[in-house]
Structure 1
Amino acid sequence: MTAPLTLTTGQRPDGTALLTATGEIDMSNSEKFAAAIDTALGGADGRLVVDLSAVEYLDSAGLSILFAHAERLELIAPPLLEPVLTLSGLSDLTTVKTIPPPTSH
């Protein structure tokens, strides 16, 4: 069974390519995730911002894809993923911006 994953591409206001992921990234959909990163990077030499703020699960298959492109990525991650990105060493290879958790009123 494939884990739910939605991938959306776009651009940030500064023109940087943006890939937004929503759902779970695991071995069942890692090829789809890798293809989306490859497409978003295209043949350009620029950076890609990968917004993982709506990702609830990231396993080693997803991490390996991020590692393969680490020198060209900037990650936006929720606090839930921060330990995985730090312990894996990925945060030492690329910029990781952790977004604060939503506040409830």
Structure 2
Amino acid sequence: MNPELTLATTSRADGAVVLTVAGEIDMANAARFTGALAEAVRGAPLGCGPVVVDLLGVGYLDSAALSGLFAHAERVEVVAGELLEAVLTVSGLAAITSVRILGE
């Protein structure tokens, strides 16, 4: 059984939007993730920087989740743990958008 996917969108004091994700993102729930991501990007005020996609609580993501990130690469900054570093790099996402890997 996969850990339940949780999604929370908040705004920082500087106006930047943060989408915090925890659990695993796979084919069964990727539509929820990509929908939340699209809504966060639509709702983010221009000029307040990219939408921060906090994946520190994500242990697994599949190609459907990557597709959602690629679709919004020009408007997001991804923050993830070392566990996701390889998939974010090998997929090419790290070459087209900001990806920060934080040690665990």
TM norm structure 2: 0.89
Distance 1:64 1:70, change over 3 A: same
Query: Gapped runs of 5+ residues in structure 1?
Result: none
Q: Which runs of 4+ in 1 moved over 6 A?
A: none
* Cross-structure match for 1:63: 66
Q: State the identity as a percent.
A: 52
Distance 1:39 1:93, change over 3 A: same
State TM-score, norm by structure 1. Answer: 0.88
Counterpart of 1:17 in structure 2 is 17
Pairwise CA distance, 1:28: 0.6
- The correspondence for 1:47, drawn from 40, 50, 55, is 50
Equivalent position of 2:75 in the other structure: 72
- Superposition CA RMSD, Å: 1.7
State the number of aligned residues: 101
Q: Secondary structure at the match of 1:81?
A: helix
Corresponding residue to 1:83 among 83, 86, 89: 86
Q: Which has the higher helix share?
A: 2
AA matched with 1:4: E
1:96 is the counterpart of 2:99: yes
Tell me the SS of whatever aligns to 1:62. Answer: helix
